[in-house]
Every structure is written in structure tokens, then in C-alpha cells.
Amino acid sequence: MARVTRLARARKWAWRGLLLSLALFGFGQIGSGLYIHAKAAFAQELLERAWGETLEGGASHKAWSWADTWPVARLVFPGHDVDLVVLEGASGEALAFGPGRMPAFARLGRPGTAIIAAHRDTHFRFLEKVQTGDAFWIETADGKRHHYVVIDTVVLDSRSASISDDPSGSTLVLLTCYPFDTLSVGGPLRYLVFAEGAGSV
């Protein structure tokens, strides 16, 4: 009888240990997710300040001294309540703090095809709701606002598809990973929002 009681007690403690481990893992995952969102939001505050200094002085200003990137533009989607500072470069480190301009493509506000990339679970989460006909603008370091209209949304496989540059046009592509609601990280699919220039002021 005593042996049965000890065995039952051991099972009970094993179950409690398993439940506690699962709970701690769950809290850890939630904490990690909250940390990523908090870091992205806090970084945008610092980037806003650096962007303001860039507009005032005309020269690039880093948001913090050790940064390997700097603000190059501001992306505003009025219909989706989005106002983001865009960084130079699209490395993993840069994208942790904000959207990044892919340097292999045209500069923002210049002729050609420009691309801005960001994470699907933070800064570019709103792209899932963007529709053809939505209007937005990009502010560049010279203070000009370049207006765009969304003309298409596409899902591509990065292993077999590529984006071609049209140097005579004025195209902006907003790019993020796909699908939006997934637990897996990365993957080959990309969600692209194509927009056409509609003038500058």
C-alpha cells in the first residue's frame, strides 16, 4: 500500500513538473514575442528623433552611436494609421528596428524600382490589409513627399522569382515574408505590394 502511495505521489509530482515546464515555456514564448514588439516600437521613437535631425540638417543621423544603419525616409499609409521611419539596408539587424531600403535597387524618390522590406510580424504586419488603390507617401531626406498608389499584391517564391528594375518608371515594392499567420520562421514565400508613383511635392 505504501509503495502504491509513493508511486501515485511520484506521478502527481511528475505531472506538476511537466505542467510547470510547459507554463514556463509558454510564458517565455509570450515574453519573447512581447520583447520583439517592444523593441520595434521603442526603436521607432529613437528613429523619429534621428529622422527629424536629418531633415533639419540635411545629413544622415544615426539613432544610436553603434548603429550600422541610419534613417533614409519616412513611410506613411494614412488609411492604415502607419507612420514608419525607413532605414538604409535590409540586414537582419536593421530589420529588427524598422523597415529597410534594399540598397541593390533604386533610391527612394528616384526613377526605377525601389524596394523596402520589413518583418511580417512587426512593421509590415499591416500589409495583409493593404488593397489595390490604397494611397500612401514616402518622405525623403530632401523634405519631398513622393506619392504612390498600390497597383497589385503578389505572393512569390524567392527561390524561383526575382524583381526586375524598370529604370524608366517609378515603382515602389513593399516586401515581407509570407504567410502572415504562421509559427514557422522564414520560409521561401514573399508577399509583395507593388505601388506606382503618383507625383511629388
Residue 1 lies in a domain: no
Query: Minimal CA–CA distance to 99: which of 130, 129, 120?
Result: 120
Between residues 107 and 30, which one has the greater pLDDT?
107
Q: How confident is the model at residue 131 (pLDDT cuts 50, 70, 90)?
A: very high
Q: With contact defined as beta carbons under 8 Å apart, do 95 and 151 qualify?
A: no
The pLDDT score that the predictor gives to residue 40 is 63
The pLDDT score that the predictor gives to residue 71 is 93
Residue 111 lies in a domain: yes
Query: Minimal CA–CA distance to 84: which of 67, 106, 101?
Result: 101
Between residues 12 and 79, which one has the greater pLDDT?
79
The pLDDT score that the predictor gives to residue 10 is 61
Long-range contacts of residues 39-47, Cβ cutoff 8 Å, at least 24 apart: 39/96, 39/97, 40/96, 40/97, 40/98, 40/119, 40/122, 40/123, 43/96, 43/97, 43/98, 44/84, 44/85, 44/97, 44/98, 47/71, 47/85, 47/87, 47/97, 47/98
Which residue's entry shows cell 544622415? Answer: 60
CA 73 from centre of chain: 14
Distance between CA 188 and CA 172 in Å, rounded?
Answer: 21
Between residues 130 and 61, which one has the greater pLDDT?
130
Residue 161 lies in a domain: yes
The pLDDT score that the predictor gives to residue 64 is 77
Distance between CA 67 and CA 105 in Å, rounded?
Answer: 22
Query: Minimal CA–CA distance to 96: which of 47, 59, 138?
Result: 47
Q: Tell me, what CATH number does 67's domain have?
A: 2.40.260.10
The pLDDT score that the predictor gives to residue 30 is 46
Residue 38 lies in a domain: yes
Span 27-86, pLDDT tens digits: 444 444 455 556 566 777 888 888 988 898 877 878 777 778 899 999 999 999 999 999
Residue 134 lies in a domain: yes
Residue 22 lies in a domain: yes
How many domains does the structure of the chain reveal?
Answer: 1
Grid cell of 20 as nine digits: 510547470
Report for 52-56, 174-178, 182-186: range of highest mean pLDDT = 174-178
Average pLDDT of the residues in 6-10: 64
Range of the domain at 67: 8-200
Grid cell of 8 as nine digits: 501515485
The pLDDT score that the predictor gives to residue 33 is 46
The pLDDT mean for the chain works out to 84
Residue 27 lies in a domain: yes
- CA 19 → CA 9, 14, 171, distances in Å? 15, 9, 52
Which are the contacts of 49, defined by CB distance < 8 A and separation ≥ 6? 63
Residue 171 lies in a domain: yes
Distance between CA 177 and CA 158 in Å, rounded?
Answer: 10
pTM across the whole model: 0.77
pLDDT at 16 > cutoff 90: no
